[in-house]
Amino acid sequence: MTKDQKSGSMSRRQFHRLAGMTVAGAAVSPTVARMAAAATPNPSDIIAGVNPTMIIHNAKLGVMETPLTLLRDHDITPKELMFIRNHFPPAGKQAWMATTDAPMVKEWNIRIGGLAVRPRTITLKDLEGMEQVKRVSVMQCAGNGRSFYAAKAKAPGGQWKHGGLANVEWEGVPLKAVLDKANVGPSVEARFLTANGADESPAAKGADLIKSYHLEDTALDHAILAIKLNGEPIPAVHGGPVRLIIPGYYGNMNVKFLNELSYENMQSPTPFQSKAYRMVNKPVEPGKFTTRDYDLGNSHPTYGFKIMSVIFAPLAEDKVKAGPVEIRGVAWNDGTAPITSVKVSKDGGKSWEQATLKLSDSPWAWHHWSLKTNLSAGTHTLRVIATDSLGRTQPIDGTALWNPKGYEWNGVDLVKVTVS
Amino acid sequence: MTPTSSPLPLPPTHHRTGAVAALALATLMQILPAGPAAATEFNLPQGPNRALIYAKCRTCHDLQYVVESKGMNASAWDGLIDDMEGFGVDLTPDERKKIVTYLQTYMGDTPPPAPSATPEVKTKVDGASVFAENCTACHQEDAKGIPETFPPLAHNSDLFLARLFPVKVLLNGMTGALRIKGAPYEGEMPSFSHLSDAELAAVVNYLRQSFGNDALATKKMAAVTADDVKKLRQSPMDPEKVLEYRASLE
């Protein structure tokens, strides 16, 4: 615990000034960490309760990713290690965003309306009174892995490595059950369900983060209005008190601080739907297509996770002794088809060996894989590639899917280890 | 503030090695604050219209997004500002052009080898333009602020809490929960220590005479001088200490 937490004062904002130093500290180099330590920057002073070695991408908003050296230690990611990516705080609730403690709310309303005959409001209490279901699922930022696109051309924003990733247990009420119970009577021209949360841009003419989904989207069949994360009320930094969870969908699609669902005949005009968080339909080239060129016809929202696998051990940071080693990690996809194969290469991709895959009970969770093998002294380039039953797999060179905002990275992972 | 001393290395490739981590780190380190006076902000490379980034780009997020995007090509920066305008950044065509040129030049894929070491010095400083250029993204053109988010500087007697109080706010920033004209705020006033002594003095004097504030002066206060600002720069404060100091004056 830091001095500030003990004294109970607001510590989140005090460390804004140290944003730069925090980055240095988190990037882990002994010398620099010491320099930074003089100024005691610490992610857990920006958001009380997070692990102090989280890697900051934006101190003002508390955006941070998880170092893989810690992410790998848990099957279910604890909240202190879960990456955080927020755009704006809910209006007037900055204090909620300074801690991983869940906000103390007794009342929370979700308005269900739009093109509906009987618009109505359901409450947190209503949700608590309904039958609860669990979803163990990967939560992943659409920008996870963005930094790796820089090998082709730099994409804007936080240069995420693999740490915009978590595997957690959500609990709540199925979206369909809530809509049935509310019985608002969507009109025939309704084509989209639109979700909005309580977060608001601080700017006078700021855009709101709103998301629209096709009504026939089958992913909605598994969606829940979550009120618990890993068995506890959801911290606001992860979208509490109520978050729309669509298992298998990229983070931004899972609307936080949910307070409005509406039936619409077109998707929301907010740039968060029409310009940002979109993936191009066809490959584009840097310099020829920029973020401004997105339109509804040439791109689609970042829906389901692309199939992906990551090496958890050994990592470049690990000391590896020559002889028998276990190469291990996780693989995941959008949950619509089982992962059938994970292959590992010790020679940069020339030859591949089948890893042992342990499928999780939940199709949306990450699945652990491992390969017991031998490594000789010297430098080795480890790679891993996953395939699912639909034949979907990962590009050897992930930059083939380069896109201006650097979303949906799923290039075959590459770790260089030195074995002594 | 010290200008960055050398060009920044190219962005890392996607190979996950210790060497790359160190390189990425070096990239950021060179933009890091150099000393306590500058410790409040990312130190962007010196160049024409750099102040516009501090003025227009800290309302919604801090400047780490800009810093981490260093190395993007010219068209990407141009397109990105369209995005930001879509999110709600309010820029005149002239401001837009200046911001894009700055970002393309100093944060682009071919930055100049050594940024010019001499910060811009404006020959004629006038408080009204300093305010319009640097403060209106948050406090708004009429200085009335935005409810719950950015406090008003119009009809605000706090400007007279102490002669040098607003200067301390501007040099160090101020963060934490407080009440202004009865309403609660809990935001971050970022540091403006990148502006010159004369500019900071001018904006304080201007605010005290404008937006209905002149009528609120309880006692006669001498105008702030560039020399006052220069002296205060020597004793930097933490932004939350500025808030404590403010509380001691109330």
Quick check: bond before A314 cis, omega within 30?
yes
Amino acid (1-letter code) at residue A324: P
| pLDDT above 80: residue B233 | yes
CATH of the domain at B192: 1.10.760.10
How far apart are alpha carbons A168 and A74 in whole angstroms?
10
Give how far B67 is from chain A: nearest CA, Å.
8
Give how far A110 is from chain B: nearest CA, Å.
22
pLDDT, residue A24, reads 32
pLDDT, residue B114, reads 67
Q: Cβ of B79 and A147 within 8 Å?
A: no
Residue A210, φ and ψ in degrees, nearest 5: -130, 145
Q: Does domain A3-301 match CATH 3.40.50.300?
A: no
Would you say residue B16 lies in a domain?
Answer: yes
Give how far B241 is from chain A: nearest CA, Å.
9
User: Domain boundary at B48, B74, B106, which?
Assistant: B106
Of B88, B148, B175, the CB nearest to A13: B175
- Which residues, numbered 177 to 236 in chain B, qualify as contacts with chain A under a Cβ-Cβ cut-off of 8 Å? 177, 186-188, 190-191
* Residues B176 and B213 grouped into a single domain: yes
pLDDT, residue B23, reads 36
Return the residue of A nearest to B29 by Cα.
A24
* Residues B138 and B185 grouped into a single domain: yes
| pLDDT above 70: residue A19 | no
| β-pairing verdict for A109-114 and A258-264 | parallel
In degrees, rounded to 5, the angle at the alpha carbon of residue A257 between the alpha carbons of residues A252 and A263 is 75
Split into its structural domains, chain B has a count of 2
pLDDT, residue A304, reads 98
Task: Give the residue from A308, A234, A213, A296 showing the smallest Cα distance to A84.
Answer: A234
**pLDDT, greater one: A17 or A239:** A239
Which run of H or E residues covers position B230? helix B226-233
Of B32, B61, B83, the CB nearest to A276: B83
* Other residues' Cβ atoms within 10 Å of the Cβ of residue B119: 14
* Residues B181 and B243 grouped into a single domain: yes
Sign of CA dihedral B191, B192, B198, B201: negative
Give how far B32 is from chain A: nearest CA, Å.
5
Give whole-number Cα distances, B116 to B4, B110, B234, in Å: 9, 15, 24
Are the C-beta atoms of residues B45 and B112 closer than 8 Å to each other?
no
pLDDT, residue B136, reads 97
- Which residues, numbered 28 to 87 in chain A, qualify as contacts with chain B under a Cβ-Cβ cut-off of 8 Å? 28-29, 32, 39, 56-61, 87
Are the C-beta atoms of residues A337 and A392 closer than 8 Å to each other?
yes
pLDDT, residue A99, reads 96
Render pLDDT for B29-57 as a digit per residue (tens, 0 to 9): 333 333 323 234 789 999 999 999 999 99
Looking at the complex, does the CB of residue B240 fall below 8 Å from at least one CB of chain A? yes
Among A187-191, A192-196, A203-207, B101-105, the minimum mean pLDDT is found in A203-207
pLDDT, residue A91, reads 85
Which structural domain, as residue segments, surrounds residue B25?
A: 12-106
Amino acid (1-letter code) at residue A59: A
Q: What is the DSSP string of A220-263?
A: GGG-EEEEEETTEEPPGGGT-S-EEE-TTB-GGGS-SSEEEEEE
Please provide the CATH number assigned to the domain covering A308-419: 2.60.40.650
- Which residues, numbered 6 to 25 in chain A, qualify as contacts with chain B under a Cβ-Cβ cut-off of 8 Å? 9-10, 13-14, 16-21, 23-24
Terminal Cα-to-Cα distance of chain B (whole angstroms) = 32
| pLDDT above 70: residue A152 | yes
pLDDT, residue B119, reads 61
How many residues are listed for chain B in this entry?
250
Q: Best residue in A21, A88, A154 to probe B by mutation, most B CBs within 10 Å?
A: A154
* Residues B137 and B94 grouped into a single domain: no
| β-pairing verdict for A55-58 and A308-313 | unpaired
Would you say residue B200 lies in a domain?
Answer: yes
Confidence of residue A92 (pLDDT cuts 50, 70, 90): confident
Q: Cβ of A414 and B137 within 8 Å?
A: no
Q: Best residue in B110, B140, B149, B237 to probe A by mutation, most A CBs within 10 Å?
A: B149
Confidence of residue B121 (pLDDT cuts 50, 70, 90): low
How far apart are alpha carbons B214 and B144 in whole angstroms?
15
Looking at the complex, does the CB of residue B75 fall below 8 Å from at least one CB of chain A? yes
Convert A236-258 to b/e letters by CB count within 10 Å (16 or more is b).
bbbbbbbbbbbbbbbbbbbbbbb
pLDDT, residue A34, reads 21
Render pLDDT for A25-43 as a digit per residue (tens, 0 to 9): 333 222 222 222 223 358 9
Are the C-beta atoms of residues B1 and B34 closer than 8 Å to each other?
yes
* Residues B66 and B147 grouped into a single domain: no
- Which residues, numbered 111 to 150 in chain A, qualify as contacts with chain B under a Cβ-Cβ cut-off of 8 Å? 147-150
| pLDDT above 60: residue B12 | no
Render pLDDT for B134-159 as a digit per residue (tens, 0 to 9): 999 999 999 999 998 999 999 999 99
Are the C-beta atoms of residues B92 and A85 closer than 8 Å to each other?
no
pLDDT, residue B217, reads 87
How far apart are alpha carbons A78 and A312 in whole angstroms?
17
Render pLDDT for A30-78 as a digit per residue (tens, 0 to 9): 222 222 222 335 899 899 999 999 999 999 999 999 999 999 999 999 9
Q: What is the DSSP string of B179-209?
A: EETTEEE--EE---TTS-HHHHHHHHHHHHH
pLDDT, residue A4, reads 32
Q: Cβ of B16 and A315 within 8 Å?
A: yes
Render pLDDT for A355-398 as a digit per residue (tens, 0 to 9): 999 999 999 999 999 999 999 999 999 999 999 999 999 999 99
| pLDDT above 50: residue A16 | no
Would you say residue B158 lies in a domain?
Answer: yes
Q: What percent of chain B has pLDDT over 70?
A: 80
How far apart are alpha carbons B59 and B193 in whole angstroms?
17
Give whole-number Cα distances, B240 to A62, A94, A301, B229, in Å: 18, 16, 41, 19
Would you say residue B7 lies in a domain?
Answer: no
User: Domain boundary at B74, B106, B138, which?
Assistant: B106
Confidence of residue A275 (pLDDT cuts 50, 70, 90): very high
Q: What percent of chain B has pLDDT over 90?
A: 72
Confidence of residue B124 (pLDDT cuts 50, 70, 90): confident
ipTM: 0.88
Q: What is the mean pLDDT of chain A?
A: 90
Would you say residue B34 lies in a domain?
Answer: yes
Average pLDDT over residues B5-13: 30
Render pLDDT for B212-232 as a digit per residue (tens, 0 to 9): 999 998 778 899 999 999 999
Are the C-beta atoms of residues A212 and A114 closer than 8 Å to each other?
no
| pLDDT above 80: residue A9 | no
pLDDT, residue A249, reads 98
Looking at the complex, does the CB of residue A284 fall below 8 Å from at least one CB of chain B? no
Q: Cβ of A416 and B177 within 8 Å?
A: no
Q: What percent of chain A has pLDDT over 70?
A: 90
Residue owning tokens 């000789």: A376
Would you say residue B4 lies in a domain?
Answer: no
Of A202, A399, A416, the CB nearest to B59: A202
Q: What is the DSSP string of A85-129?
A: --SSPBTT-GGGGGBSSPP--S--EEEEEESBSS-EEEEHHHHHT
* Residues B133 and B217 grouped into a single domain: yes
Torsion (CA) A43, A46, A50, A54 in degrees, nearest 10: -30
Looking at the complex, does the CB of residue B38 fall below 8 Å from at least one CB of chain A? no
Looking at the complex, does the CB of residue B17 fall below 8 Å from at least one CB of chain A? yes
The full set of domain ranges for chain A reads 3-301, 308-419
Task: Give the residue from A169, A138, A364, A329 showing the smallest Cα distance to A251.
Answer: A138
* Residues B89 and B35 grouped into a single domain: yes
**pLDDT, greater one: A36 or A134:** A134
Average pLDDT over residues A213-226: 98
- 3-class DSSP assignment, residue A11: coil
* Residues B184 and B213 grouped into a single domain: yes
**pLDDT, greater one: A8 or A186:** A186
Q: Is the pTM of this model over 0.95?
A: no
**pLDDT, greater one: B22 or B60:** B60
* Residues B243 and B161 grouped into a single domain: yes
Burial class (CB in 10 A: 0-12, 13-18, 19+), B12: buried
How far apart are alpha carbons B84 and A20 in whole angstroms?
22
Confidence of residue B117 (pLDDT cuts 50, 70, 90): low
Would you say residue B178 lies in a domain?
Answer: yes
* Other residues' Cβ atoms within 10 Å of the Cβ of residue A20: 28
Question: Quick one: residue A280, left, alpha or beta (phi over 0 = left, psi -120 to 50 = alpha)?
Answer: beta
Are the C-beta atoms of residues A216 and A191 closer than 8 Å to each other?
no
